[in-house]
Structures are given as structure tokens and as C-alpha cells.
Amino acid sequence: MNVSGKTVLLTGGTNGIGREIALQMQAKGAQVITTGRNPDRVAATRAAGFEVIEADLSSAQGVDGLIAAWGEMGRELDILINNAGQLVDHDFRNGAVDPDAADDCIYANLNAPLRLIAALTGGLKSRPHAAIVNVTSGLAISPAARTPVYCATKSALRFYTLALREQLKGTNVQVIEALPPVVDTQMNDGNPMKKMSAEECARQIIVAIEKDRDEANIGLSRALRWVESVSPSLVRKITLSF
């Protein structure tokens, strides 16, 4: 799909990978409407020329507010990118875990994309060529021991995406999964692993949209997919240590 002239709703475009997707798609001629929570980042994104809907996606109320605000804008949507996501520490080896933080993570990473897809797929089907892009993770393939809640949300979103693609096969709506590797964003502050730049990760996600690919397996995620195909136990051993 040529993204020029397309209208894009991108969640979490105020920071990290999402901000890079917003900038690169705008440079290619797309109209990007994005979302965020942090007021300073929302203001900075608006100052960069983007329309931003403020929304906390960790509750149904927040997602419904976004859907209502989108409806009031009266735009025809071509591409929905479910990018917003959060990582929560959930490691019993370090003491007690916070179930409320886990709930927020589950809502933002899984329920919010599903609710947006439920609300917006009808409109996408009426467009000549449309796409739903769900940003999961290499950890959707196999989990890291220290972030079980995050990994559970991403693998659940991966399975949902695979099934949704089958349902929408033969329609004008391409269903794409993007699996970033470890990327140099706020989410990875303090992570000593080698990181891909957010610019490069965003570039590869946009290439997948432009080339109508089902998946963007990016960097290390591509290698994990391959190792999993030959030895699931080896890929488990690798990612559990992350």
C-alpha cells in the first residue's frame, strides 16, 4: 500500500517507536493522528504538527474516550496502528508483585487494541485499501522470565492477529503484525542488551505496510522465529534469560 494520502490512527505516537512511525509516515505524505498520555509529550507532539488525542488506554473508559474523539473528527480511517504498550515488572524473585499494574498492562497491551479493532474495522472495510497493524514483540514468540505479564499480552495479541488475518482474508483490510526486537526507547532504559534504534524499527514496520506483508519480523525477532522453527526448547532457553 502506498501510504501517501492515507489517514492513520496511531496509538502511542508521542514517544519511542510510535513517534518515529508518526514522523516517517508524515514525511511520506500520510495524515497521522496519534495518541498519548503524558502532557509534556502530547504538547511536544502537537508542536511537531500532529493532531493528538489524549487518552489513557489502560481502561475501557479511556479507550472509549479515544473512540468517541476519533468519531467526532469525522475522518475516514485507512490504517490503524496499535502501537501503544507498556512493560511492567512482575518478578516474584524480587519480592511481591503489583496486580493492579499487571491489570493496567493487560488492558493497554491487549484489551485496548481489541476494543479499537472492534470499533474501527467496519470503517476500514469500507475503504479501498486498508490495514490494521498490531505491534507485538519478539517476546510474543517466547517469554522472558522477568516480564511474564508483558509477554502474555504480546503472545495473546499475536494469536488474535493471526486469527483476525484469517477472518479478513479476501477483504481489503490487510492485517499486519510487527515484532520489534530490543529497541532503544524509554521502555528499555537500563536494559544492557544491544538495542536497535527506534528509527530503524519504525522504518521496517512501514516497509511491511508498503509491501502488504503479513509480518514485520525485525532484527533479533527474525532470528528468534527461525530458531523456534528448528528448536522451540532452545528459543525458550534464550528468551527466558532476557
> Which residues contact ligand NAP by CB under 6 A?
12, 14-18, 36-38, 41, 55-58, 83-86, 108, 135, 137, 180, 182-183, 185-188
Closest distance between ligand NAP and the C-beta of residue 23, in Å?
Answer: 13
Strands 215-217 and 173-179: parallel
52 vs 130, beta carbon nearer ligand NAP: 52
Active site residue 160: no
41 vs 127, beta carbon nearer ligand NAP: 41
The sheet that has 173-179: what strands, in order across it?
Answer: 51-54, 31-36, 7-10, 79-82, 130-135, 173-179, 215-217
Place of cell 493496567: 104
Question: What does each C-alpha distance from 126 to 78, 172, 211, 212 come to in angstroms?
Answer: 9, 8, 21, 18
Closest distance between ligand NAP and the C-beta of residue 144, in Å?
Answer: 11
14 vs 142, beta carbon nearer ligand NAP: 14
Q: CA 49, 114, 30: angle at the middle one, nearest 5?
A: 25
Strands 31-36 and 173-179: unpaired
| Catalytic hit among 150, 154, 165, 208 | 150
Please tell me the distance from the alpha carbon of residue 34 to that of residue 148, in angstroms, as a whole number: 28
Closest distance between ligand NAP and the C-beta of residue 133, in Å?
Answer: 11
Closest distance between ligand NAP and the C-beta of residue 171, in Å?
Answer: 25
137 vs 161, beta carbon nearer ligand NAP: 137
Closest distance between ligand NAP and the C-beta of residue 153, in Å?
Answer: 8
What are the grid coordinates assigned to 183, written together? Answer: 529497541
Q: CA 45, 47, 48: angle at the middle one, nearest 5?
A: 65
46 vs 129, beta carbon nearer ligand NAP: 46
What are the residue ranges of helices labelled H in 137-192?
A: 148-168
What are the grid coordinates assigned to 121, written together? Answer: 474495522
Give the catalytic positions in this structure: 150
